[in-house]
């Protein structure tokens, strides 16, 4: 791939990723912004899938992430922030994420991901190691509450994953690697 195209993709990711960041200066305001995003995403998810509420309550924990993804022809890049909540201890672990993929696609998409951990081991593995790898195919044409998006639901390694598209225009079929890690600046 052309170096100039890769550089443009990274500039777009960090520019768009800045839109998804908290923007406040204090630690508590940054944390609260992410917790507010978490609550809003869960409210939206429960509207579409009410049964997820009981699934989350009975799970050892869950995570919610906000992500911006850019697809340019054969490459896909994304980044975002989120939080993992341990239901047993009530502790929140603030995290970041970045993804890169190869495949066919074009567009920009702002979406949210909810992970429901069905075992403490899968939650701990996610917090401590955080890698995910997968194949994604989706279509989105959505602005605010207008339009439609085809997201997904999958269960892998004792984790059920729900994706909700916030806005964007994208058509993609990619193989992606995603890295989740603890955000030392927020924990």
Q: Report which DSSP code applies to 119.
A: S
In a domain, residue 187? The reply is no
Provide the number of structural domains found in the chain.
1
pLDDT in tens, 154-168: 667 789 988 887 644
**pLDDT band at 31; cut points 50, 70, 90:** very high
In a domain, residue 132? The reply is yes
Q: Which residue has the tokens 């639901």?
A: 153
Please, how many CA atoms are within 13 Å of residue 96, restricted to the half-sphere of its CB?
16
In a domain, residue 131? The reply is yes
CB-neighbour burial class of residue 63 (10 A; exposed 0-12, middle 13-18, buried 19+)? buried
Residue-number span of the structural domain to which 122 is assigned = 3-182
Please, how many CA atoms are within 13 Å of residue 73, restricted to the half-sphere of its CB?
6
pLDDT in tens, 48-87: 899 999 999 999 999 999 988 777 767 778 899 999 999 9
Give pTM, 2 decimals: 0.74
Distance set, CA 66 to CA 54, 87, 103, 104 (Å): 22, 20, 22, 23
In a domain, residue 98? The reply is yes
């Amino acid at each position: 791939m052309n170096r100039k195209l890769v550089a443009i993709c990274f500039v777009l990711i960090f520019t768009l990723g800045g839109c998804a960041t908290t923007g406040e200066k204090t630690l508590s305001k940054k944390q609260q912004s992410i917790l507010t995003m978490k609550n809003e995403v869960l409210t939206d998810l429960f509207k579409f899938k009410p049964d997820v509420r009981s699934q989350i309550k009975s799970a050892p924990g869950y995570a919610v992430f906000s992500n911006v993804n850019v697809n340019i022809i054969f490459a896909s890049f994304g980044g975002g922030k989120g939080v993992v909540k341990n239901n047993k201890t009530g502790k929140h672990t603030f995290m970041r994420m970045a993804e890169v993929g190869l495949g066919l696609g074009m567009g920009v998409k702002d979406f949210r991901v909810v992970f429901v951990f069905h075992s403490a081991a899968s939650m701990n593995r996610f917090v401590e190691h955080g890698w995910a790898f997968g194949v994604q195919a989706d279509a989105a044409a959505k602005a605010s509450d207008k339009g439609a998006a085809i997201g997904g639901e999958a269960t892998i390694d004792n984790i059920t994953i729900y994706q909700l598209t916030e806005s964007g225009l994208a058509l993609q079929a990619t193989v992606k690697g995603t890295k989740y890690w603890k955000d030392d600046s927020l924990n």
